[in-house]
Copies of this chain bind each other. A is one copy, B any other.
Amino acid sequence: MTAKGKLFLLPLPISTGEIDKSITPFERSLIKKLKYFAAENIRTARRFISSLNEEIVIEDLIFFQVDKKTDQQKVNEIINLIEKGNNVGMMSEAGCPGIADPGSMLVDLAHKNNIGVIPVSGPSSMFLALMSSGFNGQQFEFCGYIPVKNPSRKVAISKMEKKASSENITQIFMDTPYRNNALFNDILANCNPNTFLSISCDLTGENEFIKTMRIKNWKKQTIDLHKKPALFLFGQCL
């Protein structure tokens, strides 16, 4: 009987070109040994592997798309491949696969089929933002995308602001990049002037910007977050 393969969870850089800031030597050497990849975006995955400059022949690799439109039957094909003894590397569009991305379906099926899952360390914008906030990292919540429309949007902001201040549970959230400036203004308009807000923008990138201060001080600041990847955090300072 052939031993089963494994599912390797491979993070990608969160800012283009920043390979050495993002990828460990372990991940690099692992990718050199893999033939099969499950990718949220095959083009991004190919480009990433090629950017490693490891003399890997991209044409010899086999890619499977796993995104939110992929049905379980397609994912089962990948599981079968692993069952037969092949290792598969799973890649998100950016950052850690399986977090805020559709790859968790493949991880779930791997567990159900008793296949080993091996996570590899790499960049996560959420974690970099949390580390850099100065807020409580003992208890925190990633709330994902904030609702687009009011009153849900205002309610969500107010709920997170309250949870951060009264329970000291750091609240991490985001919006689609083209709505970042609107979100920033919504926060300024609706929050207590003494509430602490941390913003992390273009993490690991050329225009990385990280700042934590009270809402009343943010009001004095001019920033442009338009179409830039950003995370927003409410929390308490010591």
Which of B117, B127, B144, B208 touches A139 (beta carbons < 8 Å)? Answer: B144
Given the known inter-chain contacts A20-B24, A24-B21, please indicate yes or no for A119 contacting B107, CB distance below 8 A: no
Are B135 and A104 interface neighbours, CB within 8 A?
A: yes
The 7 closest A-B pairs by CB, nearest first: A108-B134, A99-B137, A107-B134, A121-B123, A98-B131, A119-B128, A111-B212
Task: Report the contact-size class of chain A (Cβ under 8 Å from the partner).
Answer: 35 or more
Asked if A82 is at the interface (CB within 8 A of a chain B CB), the reply is no
Chain A 111-150 interface residues, beta-carbon cutoff 8 Å to B: 111-112, 116-124, 127-145
Given the known inter-chain contacts A98-B137, A104-B137, A133-B107, please indicate yes or no for A22 contacting B121, CB distance below 8 A: yes
Q: Mark A77-111, 1 if CB is under 8 A from B, else 0.
A: 00000000000000000001111110011011111
Q: Which residues of B contact A204 (CB under 8 A)?
A: 121
Which of B97, B134, B138 touches A111 (beta carbons < 8 Å)? Answer: B134
